[in-house]
Homo-oligomer: A and B are copies of this chain.
């Protein structure tokens, strides 16, 4: 269940998922709307947005929101998982590329580019404590696996030095994303990414 990233990434609206009986058409639509509204609002105003506001933007009552996500935190989770799954799918897609180095670094660029749009979500993850991590763990592991695959290929091709690991790469990218979203940031995420990528490349110097 939910272990197939592709399915999960179908994201906001695929019918017949998850072992539960498929949701009714309207329920499905509402769920998607809530997810969409929440994502937008979290991105725009941070995770502080009241649930009422999310519900209103989604055009549903709070009750409906709570029917789908019994807790505000569950809502974070859902969005988070969906996004992670999206990235995982992206990584898998790039796996067959002819130029592994380009595939790898291109993936990182994607990650950073997309994340800049979603201010604060990752911070929300950070703040939400342990339970949270547990639930998102599955999705995260899938992403790690995919990134590691991509990384290993690039390393074999000599485009990335051999002493870095998938998790380290993800941490670095996460850092770049989070930092780039901070207001008043002097450097763009691209500038930062460039340095990080250089650090990841094979180098003769400095080691």
Contact = CB atoms under 8 A, between A and B. Distances in A.
A31 B51 CA distance: 24
Contacts of A186: 144, 167-168, 170-171
A192 B205 contact: no
A79 interface: no
A58 B116 CA distance: 38
Where chain A touches its partner, the secondary structure class is helix
B202 A199 contact: no
Q: In the complex this chain forms, how many copies of it are found?
A: 4
Nearest to A191: B168
A183 B184 CA distance: 25
Q: Which of A175, A200, A207 has the most CB of B within 10 A?
A: A175
A19 interface: no
Contacts of A174: 179, 182, 185
Interface residues of A, number: 48
A126 interface: yes
B203 A198 contact: yes
Interface stretch (A70-78, A84-92, A127-135): A127-135
A125 B198 contact: no
B167 A126 contact: no
Given A129-B183, A175-B175, 17 more contacts: A123-B123, A126-B182, A130-B183, A167-B186, A167-B187, A171-B185, A171-B186, A171-B192, A172-B179, A174-B185, A175-B179, A175-B192, A198-B198, A201-B205, A203-B203, A203-B205, A203-B206
